[in-house]
Amino acid sequence: MSENRKIAAAYIRVSTEEQVELSPASQLLEIRKWAAKNGWTVPEKYVFVDEGISGRKVTGRDAFRRLIGTAKTKPKPFDAILLWKFSRFARNRDDAVFYKSVLRKQLHIEVVSISEPIAEGKLGILMEALIEAMDEYYSINLAEEVKRGMEEKHRRGELQSNPSFGYAAENNILVSKEPEAIYLKEIFRRFCAGEGTYSIAIWLNSVGVRTHRGNLFENRTVEYILRNPVYIGKLRWNPSGISRRDFTDPGVVLSDGRHEPLIDLDTWNTAQSRMAELKAAWKYHGRPPECGRDWISGLIRCASCGSTMIFAKPHYWKCNGYVRGTCRISQHVSSELLKDAVIRRLQLDLSSDLPIDFEAIRAKDSGEAELNALRTQRDALARRLDRLRDAYLSGTDSLEEYRDAKEATQQKLTEISMQIEEAEEKNAVSGTSCAAEESAKTALKTLRCDAAGVEQAYEAAHAIINYATWDKAKNLLCIHYRLTF
């Protein structure tokens, strides 16, 4: 790029946690005013904006990553990156030093703060280092202040999160919300009376009750409600972060809330005691190791809700939605019966006098296997490019290391892509309905062979079947074959 062409990019970042005086639009306006006054132009395509993103890390700052990626293109797209303040670029000294060094020393692109003029020479280096240190100090101090503020709100019993089921928020205080509060009390009553979380979820869904997010209730949703101390007037908070479903996390702090409890203490204690008894008696019973992966795994879906059928001890398959309480039909069926139904359905489809659209069945011959292997290699190389970029952006690799590795990977990716095109053209010519029918017959032969291993049967079934639906009430299995690419 000619040195006389003074093109600049603008980077703008706004975090909701910071007290930023200017909005993104105002920052861009000030940057363009400064640019016009100093002989620069800022094209719209070189304006990069990250909103609601912290500057402590590069992770999540998509616009920043695009900015760095654009800066590395050839010919050099711009000669400077204009910022409202250096703190918009990064609030971490390590990131600031690394990326500024890459931009200035390797790409010859200046990083300029329009509101913090820096003198040239040794004094300017010192001033910029001081500003970077102050920005990092501000960020760390802000995090501590936010945490102290949350601790104070927690101590006063004020709300710090979305209202729980059964409550709404008014003036930062929880208030009872009808009819959710009525259902909430009934949840505790049913559980204390001996009903399980699964059947409670089924009941809630059947009467049309939904979570605050509009979702169906699951057994784990009910368990979370039963373990939430908000219903006895307490507020739960974890200063170290989100504890998710770790109800015994020692870091969790409880305080007295300013809201009215929906559940009395006796009911709460009874529910916790019963929950503890159930957890102590419950053990996870997964599929026995000797069973390995069954060849119908992932193939069968519930005809009622579309959820995948999952294995259940000792030798049954169940609707996953039913297990979680979101489906009312169990579709409970033995493993042998289900596999026999799949094989018989295949036999009927292949021997029926009625014509079957075998063009809808994907041929699984050696050519297709080779094509799939090439596609797997291509996907792996694409992921490698992403990892190389991340390593470079995070400072793990230098610019030279990243450039060399990227060129080698890109060359290999080009070669694989050309091989895939050739293989697809070859398969397009040979992939006739006749070949598809033979492929289906070969798969059926494998499934009927007692000597075939689980992996062989799995590959055979998944090669020709996209998915199948099972309807226990109608004793009906429908197979949906894979479509050609």
- CATH number, domain with residue 234: 3.90.1750.20
d(CA 335, CA 311) in angstroms, rounded, equals 8
d(CA 5, CA 79) in angstroms, rounded, equals 8
Residue 298: pLDDT band with limits 50, 70, 90: confident
Residue 320: pLDDT band with limits 50, 70, 90: confident
343 lies in the same domain as 450:
yes
Nearest to 86 by CA among 134, 17, 38, 140: 134
Residue 286: pLDDT band with limits 50, 70, 90: very low
Q: Residue 410 has what pLDDT?
A: 85
Residues whose CB falls within 8 Å of the CB of residue 104, separated by 6 or more in sequence, listed in order? 110, 111
Question: Count of CB atoms within 10 A of residue 398's CB?
Answer: 13
- The single-letter DSSP state of residue 102 is I
Q: How many domains does the chain have?
A: 3
Highest average pLDDT, of 309-323, 358-372, 383-397, comes from 309-323
- The single-letter DSSP state of residue 334 is E
- Residue where a domain terminates, one of 266, 281, 296: 281
Q: Residue 189 has what pLDDT?
A: 95
98 lies in the same domain as 79:
yes
Q: Are 141 and 109 in contact (CB under 8 A)?
A: no
Q: Is residue 138 part of a domain?
A: yes
128 lies in the same domain as 76:
yes
Judge whether residue 345 has pLDDT over 70: yes
183 lies in the same domain as 82:
no
Q: Which domain holds residue 80?
A: 8-147
Residue keyed to tokens 């959820």: 307
Q: Is residue 205 part of a domain?
A: yes
Q: Is residue 155 part of a domain?
A: no
Cis bond before residue 75 (omega within 30° of 0): yes
Q: Is residue 370 part of a domain?
A: no
In order of 377, 385, 391, 410, the CA distances from 407 in angstroms are: 17, 10, 15, 5
- Residue where a domain terminates, one of 246, 281, 316: 281
- Residue where a domain terminates, one of 147, 179, 198: 147
75 lies in the same domain as 197:
no
275 lies in the same domain as 296:
no
Q: Are 198 and 246 in contact (CB under 8 A)?
A: no
**Phi, psi dihedral angles at 208 (to 5 degrees):** 90, 10
Q: Mapping DSSP to helix (H, G, I), strand (E, B) and coil, where does residue 34 land?
A: helix
208 lies in the same domain as 95:
no
In order of 7, 172, 225, 226, 474, the CA distances from 234 in angstroms are: 58, 15, 13, 13, 50
219 lies in the same domain as 300:
no
Q: Is residue 450 part of a domain?
A: yes
186 lies in the same domain as 265:
yes
78 lies in the same domain as 218:
no
44 lies in the same domain as 178:
no
Q: Is residue 311 part of a domain?
A: yes
Residues whose CB falls within 8 Å of the CB of residue 185, separated by 6 or more in sequence, listed in order? 262, 263
pTM (global) more than 0.85: no
Q: Is residue 318 part of a domain?
A: yes
201 lies in the same domain as 296:
no
Q: Is residue 389 part of a domain?
A: no
